[in-house]
Amino acid sequence: MLNVTHYQSVDDPNTSVVGIVNFYIPEWGLHLNECRYIRKKSGGFFIGYPSKRKGEEGEQPTYHPYYAFDKDKNDRFQSAGQKAINEYIQKHGGYNDER
């Protein structure tokens, strides 16, 4: 089970980030904070992990996540996380400033 503990919409036309999300995985006692909910160019979504931006000014930046799952667990996390986000938004609306 994956729970959304915080979701805040991002309303910025200059970014593909549509929300900032905190998750809690009770089975592991693990909080995953400050994840980004990102709209792909193809129209789908994915959850981006907190990361460090690298690159010189004027260059295309690269991002190095602070944590990540292996492929199988990442696929499962993406699916469960997007489902949890959609359920959370339906229940609470697109904004929650509680931490």
* All structural domains of the chain: 3-92 (3.30.1120)
pLDDT, position 60:
87
Query: How confident is the model over 46-82, as pLDDT tens digits?
Result: 999 999 999 888 888 898 999 999 999 999 999 999 9
As a whole number of angstroms, the distance between CA 47 and CA 74 comes to 10
Q: Which of 5-9, 69-73, 77-81, 95-99 has the lowest mean pLDDT?
A: 95-99
Query: How confident is the model over 21-54, as pLDDT tens digits?
Result: 999 999 999 999 999 999 999 989 999 999 999 9
As a whole number of angstroms, the distance between CA 34 and CA 57 comes to 24
Q: Which two tokens stand for residue 55?
A: 């690159």
Alpha-carbon torsion (86, 89, 92, 97), positive or negative:
positive
Q: Which two tokens stand for residue 51?
A: 């990361």
At residue 71's C-alpha, the angle toward residues 66 and 74, to 5°, is: 60
